[in-house]
Structure 1
């Protein structure tokens, strides 16, 4: 006896059993002191750096200590507007619409956006 499963039924079984990998966005949209912005899982504001090239982080060394990159796991995969860039040290970093994302060490609580406009080259990441 041969069993036949329709594609829809098979997909439903895979989802129900958790056999399909779920890819969640690495950030979400939230209200900050500067309006709507991308934030990390802890609600901390994310920023972009004008000196980055498309798909390339140029914030290393002391810069990366003040502006920690939004790190991605080694197996993280691009999805939609989200991509993963490889930093100079080999670490992986999330990017949104090709722009690498960073946190700012002087933001102390969710919703802070004190890094916006620093040296006229740092900006709140806009959704």
Structure 2
């Protein structure tokens, strides 16, 4: 019995010591150290096609805008976001992309930060399977590719 009591006292003392150490202020270098789980930025680039340039992600997947959105406000949630997944993360401009046009907006479904370009939330189309696919172009006359100025491209899909 005395041995058990000693073990309980020792465990309690260790717990209190650890709690005391962790409740102090962090050193400056520790608070500035980036987390090991920091995500890589999401790169927005430009793809050139004979019918015009349009925005893509770093792997060449086509990005779209939804004309029912308002600047900085996505109106696509629930089942819509299943077919049109939002581009999320921390935006980074690829070659030829104006970094001042990139931003983020809160998702209406609590899905984090959606990347915007010229204020327009950006999306993928679930049926685009490979880089360069543009199967979502002009879907329902509200989904369009995005040109490097942030405007909807309302002409025929630039191949794919």
Shorter-chain TM-score: which interval?
0.7 to 0.9
Aligned to 1:82: 102
The ranges of structure 1 where at least 4 consecutive aligned residues each deviate by more than 6 angstroms after the TM superposition are: none
Which of 140, 145, 153 pairs up with 1:119?
140
> Which has the higher relative contact order, 1 or 2, with Cα contacts under 8 A spaced 6 or more apart?
1
Aligned positions, number = 102
TM-score with structure 2 setting the length: 0.58
**What are structure 2's unaligned runs of at least 5 residues?**
1-40, 93-98, 149-160
Task: Kindly state the Cα deviation for residue 34 of structure 1 after the two structures are TM-superposed.
Answer: 5.4
Aligned to 2:89: 72
Aligned to 2:66: 49
Task: Kindly state the Cα deviation for residue 35 of structure 1 after the two structures are TM-superposed.
Answer: 3.2
- 2:48 matched to 1:31? yes
Superposed, 1:82-101 pairs within 5 Å as 82-90=102-110, 91-101=112-122
The answer to whether the 8 A contact 2:42-2:89 is kept is no
Higher helix content, 1 or 2:
2
The alignment's C-alpha RMSD in Å is 2.2
The answer to whether the 8 A contact 1:71-1:94 is kept is yes
